[in-house]
Structure 1
Amino acid sequence: MASVPVPRLTPPPRTMLRDTVYESIKQMLMDHDLAPGARLSIDGIARQLQVSPTPVREAMTKLESDGLVAKRPHAGYVVASLLDEASLANLYEMRVLLEPPAAGLAAMRATDEQIAEMRALVVTMTAHPAGENYEQYRDFAVRDAQLHRLIAEASGNPLIADALSRLHAHTHSYRLYFKVGIAEETTQEHQQIVEAIAAHNSEAAPEAMFRHLSASNERLQAVYAQE
């Protein structure tokens, strides 16, 4: 399989080189500049970014753990496939099994510090709405994932938090489609979840999380209908 040229990349600054290379390639993948299944040449990307192959290899390892690239025998790294409808449904079924109960436990166990951090994240998401590409959307997406991770950690059950982190749910969801105008609706749903946790309402918190996940799934499933 022939290597696909890497578009729209500029050399990163020398400081924090590894993280910059990772973010440069991740932006390209999230913005669909390369099609699923396209081969990624480490040497080619290194030339485009004017860096050595070493930080590119390190970035690929991290991107593989994120589920954004896959390593194929005799082919090196390729762009991972997007979730199909069935895979997306499976992902949300798993989230529904884990996250509403985690929210209920968080309502009983979250500390004042954790609640304050949740509220602060919701405020920053309101102040920095999503944009039209991943670079503009990144801060919102990161805070969204941080909030769900913090709720899972506040449940007091490290197995739940670990299981959710392994799903890479937000990476898959935003890569699938992040321009469906979800920022305002998502933030409102997050506020309802956090306030239920802050009120230590172990019934309202899982219900709010379930409503949020259901609405999020519907928004993303609508993408398939549009296409």
Structure 2
Amino acid sequence: MEESDGHQIPFVEPSGTESRFESDRKGAQPPYDRIKAMILSKAIPPDTKLNIDKLARELGVSQTPVREALQRLEGDKLVVGKKPRGLWTTPLLGERELRDLIEVRLLMEPWSARSVAHDRATNPGREMLTEIDRFVALGELRNEGYALASHDVAFHDMIFNAVGNSFLHDAFRQLHAHLHLFRLYPADLNGAHTIEEHRAIAEAIRRADPHAAEEAMRAHLFAALDRFSAGLRGGDTFSSLATVRSHILTASEPGQIGNGGGSETISPALQNTTTKRQYD
């Protein structure tokens, strides 16, 4: 693996996973899951060229399952084709993309949480608490690069399934929010903050308290913005994410999300500063 200037970059497997990956070389874990874990953990960095032959040799499989895995990862928006240059991991979200993603989620998810909390007999609150307990029971495995993302999508899927609006559910799935966001904030891979926020949402839904469920979801999304913004810090290239949060707080008033009041000048999307590398 080389940087564009020719310097060698060592391949580092996700922390705490060496023995598992070594045992998986015999094919115990599908290439899709393994490559996905490498991307989420940044063992394969963002905006990195992928070499199918090298990946196949690294995983101990033929090129065919690697190609199939990369096709699926394109659908997940974790891999992108750049003609004629091949396949690359997608860059991290920029400031504008992060703000836009949270705005869309603020439109969908607080309302959805409120909607499903009305009926104590049929709401998914107990099922959601069971999912939280399942994730907590993973123990050290919670530190895997994909474990928190998998839990997050399962948790939020339960709400959208209970809403029963297929168009709304499809819109959420197409965001692939859980995958993009968790690449920005590796410090919460064990899910401590997320678990606490998810439990507050689930308990409010279980109690059939629509207002509390809506507010808990909104608080969760803003807390997520604060955490994920850490992935954009580290230099003067990025403006303060406090500005982004302030914009969303203003825009989250009824009728305001998406237009910023109609007059605010929005800074252009910023390119992430990760050095471009080649995995080849």
TM superposition score category, shorter chain reference: 0.7 to 0.9
Counterparts in 2 of 1:1-227, with a 5 A limit?
7=11, 8=13, 10=22, 12-14=25-27, 20-108=30-118, 112=122, 114-128=124-138, 135=144, 137-180=145-188, 183-226=191-234
Distance 1:139 1:146 in 2: 11
Unaligned runs of 5+ in 2: 14-20, 236-280
- Residues 124-174 of structure 1 show CA distances to partners (whole Å, capped at 9, x for unaligned) of 2333457795x2x53333112200111111112121111111111111111
Unaligned runs of 5+ in 1: none
Measured after TM superposition, the shift of residue 199 of structure 1 is 2.0
Distance 1:90 1:51 in 2: 39
Q: CA separation of 1:91/1:132 partners in 2, compared to 1, >3 Å: closer, same or farther?
A: same
Kindly tell me the number of residue pairs found equivalent between the two proteins: 221
Please identify the structure whose Cα radius of gyration is greater: 2
- Residues 46-89 of structure 1 show CA distances to partners (whole Å, capped at 9, x for unaligned) of 22223221100110011111111101111221111111122111
RCO comparison, higher one (Cα < 8 Å, 6+): 2
**Runs ≥4 residues deviating over 6 A:** 2-6
Q: Is the Cα contact below 8 Å between 2:81 and 2:88 reproduced in 1?
A: yes
Calculate percent identity across the aligned residue pairs: 34
- Residues 190-211 of structure 1 show CA distances to partners (whole Å, capped at 9, x for unaligned) of 1111122112222221111001
- Could you say which structure has the higher helix fraction? 1
Question: Under a length normalisation based on structure 2, what TM-score does the superposition of the two structures give?
Answer: 0.70
Question: Under a length normalisation based on structure 1, what TM-score does the superposition of the two structures give?
Answer: 0.85
User: Please, what is the CA RMSD of the aligned residues?
Assistant: 2.7
